[in-house]
Copies of this chain bind each other. A is one copy, B any other.
Amino acid sequence: MDKQTRMAHAIRFLSMDAVEKANSGHPGLPMGAADVATVLFTKFMRFDPTSPKWADRDRFVMSGGHGSMLLYSLLHLLGYEDMSIEDLANFRQLGAKTAGHPEFGHAAGIETTTGPLGQGIANAVGMAITERLLSAKFGDDLVNHRTYVMAGDGCLMEGISQEAIALAGHLKLNKLVLLWDDNNITIDGNVSVSDSTDQHARFKASNWNTISVDGHDQAAIAEAIEEAQKSDKPTMIDCKTVIGFGSPNKAGTNKVHGAPLGADEIAATREALGWDCAPFELPADIRDAWRIAGLNAAQAHKEWQKRLEAADSEVRAEFERRMRGDLPSGFEDAMAAYKKSLAEEPKNVATRKASEMALNVITEAVPETIGGSADLTGSNNTKTPSTESVTPDDFSGRYMNWGIREHCMASAMNGMALHGGVIPYSGTFLVFADYMRGAMRLSALMEQRVIYVLTHDSIGLGEDGPTHQPVETLASLRAIPNMQVFRPADAMETAECWELAIKSDKNPSSLALTRQGLTPYRTEYSEENLCGRGAYVLSDCDGDADVSIFASGSEVEIAMAAQAALAEQDILARVVSVPCFELFEAQSEEYKKDILGEAKVKVGIEAALRMGWDRFIGSDGIFVGMDSFGASGPYKELYEKFGITSDNVVAKVVERLK
């Protein structure tokens, strides 16, 4: 048996033994795709196991994250220090780096968290886009790498894959290669149970190059990858594999997909493949061959390092700053100047417009910001004079026309943030967060700085009606751990929230913004970013408050009007603006207690559901908001219809105080 085949067997046995030991996991994919992975990592991939974060490394994304043992085996074999044999033996145990699915941040070499199918393809598209963007800016000497994604039938069936494939083909991302692990098996049986798609025709329809290859013929695989590297289009390589390759009784069936093989079948597989090492042991020549492959792959890093050192010092400094994720020195001053100008000339604008105003400043001051929209540019107000559109033939722009593809947009932004060197932000309507929630959750799980611009944030959008009016969306986003949800009340708060989002390098942010114009209340310049407190007293009363009114976004206006109306009845109310629940929770207990206050009556106002507001107003507090879907009509009439008015607030408070 040739050495390359035995190198693939090493992956197979590490994977099946780890799954067996964990008594849980997916051996089929790593066993089936081991030859493809061996060829890719020993002959093509450029990376450095001793410097896993090397900026210009090739990216490899394991889109079928259930095949995690393939990736862990590779990292171990190639000499990543972060992945010992003990780590492999500890597969799927609490606290292990080797989680059931690859988790970004658990070990070097895991480029992204995968498991929810299809995400990896869109992540890879985002990475490949970023490579083009940075290369356009910094030149091929510093940025010139490839992105490989391994995907299975599940990934290709998910709708997000179509969005990603169509976009990649449109943008001619020719340094992107998708390795389709074409094993013809899904959990429910043969692919033919649910699908008859001609995948080659499908990819070609979206301007891809496609190649078919026997996924166990390593020479043929190498030829295919070489051909892919010469293409002027992205390439899909159809690797025809046998799931669970090597298992005499289970290979080629769904039995080997997601369950341990069992001791007997593993013994039979050892016999069949002529493998006489104990679990987690490897033949010395094979171990050496893999280490040498890792060393060879790292040669490219040395050459790149020379080019980096030869680069213009300013260019180098700027490149390194961006890759570290540090903000440029001028950012804070630019924001301060902008906020001063807002204080001098307060504007009555919709917060989506205020967001555009803030973005005008940010995109100028922070050149790594990359904007975009899912075909709602004029509605999301996401484009600025600094952000020309990226086109298939010119990546010097900084604005992505994502098309009507929210899920791909979000997932590709994850890939962009993971790649590093850029800060992605993009827009759609708030209600369509539902279309990309699978990816938003992963932004949060991976702690990536991805910024969602979500306009048309309530019934305030008016006539488009309940399909377009979020009522539950704010609560559903606030429910996602690590996700910062901002709902600013005026132009100044919008500037502050944007500033916080840009600075938050461990959280994604969602900015919920209005379509309708809002009165400015923050008309003084403040050194401190008050939104950074999550909630703060916007308008206090003279003496102990009878009523505390908490509100966010467009409903702060109603709170302010209610405060004034209550004052006429000698009822003292204070108004607390609540732009961000999550940042409020991060404050000191003392601060939180002070903000929650001790008023007899507490009121929450938000043109959305109550869920989550009890934190501020208690379960016996008065909530003025929505308790159903919205309706189609002019927005002022909708506010009346649903009782979200200062009159209603006043009436309820007076009733309660009786």
A residues adjacent to B (C-beta < 8 A): 22, 24-25, 65, 92-96, 99-101, 103, 113-117, 153-154, 157-163, 166-167, 169-170, 186-189, 193-202, 204-207, 373, 375-379, 389, 392, 401-408, 431-432, 434-435, 437-438, 441-442, 444-445, 462-468, 471-472, 475-476, 478-482, 609, 611-612, 614-615, 618-619, 627-629, 631-634, 637-638, 641
With a cutoff of 8 Å between Cβ atoms, the chain B residues found around residue A609 in the complex are: 479, 481
Copy count, this protein chain: 2
Question: Which 7 pairs across A and B sit closest by C-beta, in order of nearness?
Answer: A159-B159, A94-B633, A194-B403, A162-B162, A115-B467, A201-B205, A99-B632
Cα A300 to Cα B443 in complex, Å, equals 54
Contact (Cβ within 8 A) A170 B158: no
CB-based contact B475/A479 at 8 Å: yes
Contact A205–B197 (Cβ < 8 Å): yes
Bound-state CA distance A96–B465 (Å) is 11
A627 to B586, alpha carbons, bound, how many Å? 13
Identify the closest chain B residue to A99 (Cβ). Answer: B632
Residue of A167, A188, A445, A634 with most chain B CB atoms under a 10 A cut-off: A188
Q: When chains A and B are docked, how far (Å) is the Cα of A462 from the Cα of B99?
A: 11
Q: Closest B-chain residue to A155, C-beta based?
A: B404
Partner of A632 from the list B92, B194, B401, B618 (CB cut-off 8 Å) is B92
Q: Is the CB of B476 within 8 A of A194?
A: no
Q: What is the bound-complex CA distance between A163 and B435, given in angstroms?
A: 14
Contacts of A407 in B (CB 8 A): 159
Q: A196 CA to B207 CA in the complex, in Å?
A: 7
Q: Which of B65, B160, B188, B375 contacts A159 (CB under 8 A)?
A: B160
Residues of B within 8 A of A632 (CB): 92-94, 96, 99-101, 103
Complex partner residue of A195 from B170, B463, B479, CB under 8 angstroms: B170
- B629→A619 contact, CB < 8 A: no
B193 touches A92 (CB 8 A): no
Q: Are A404 and B186 in contact (CB under 8 A)?
A: yes
Give the Cβ gap from A198 to chain B, nearest Cβ, in Å: 5
A407 nearest CB neighbor, chain B only: B159
Q: Is the CB–CB distance between B157 and A159 below 8 Å?
A: no
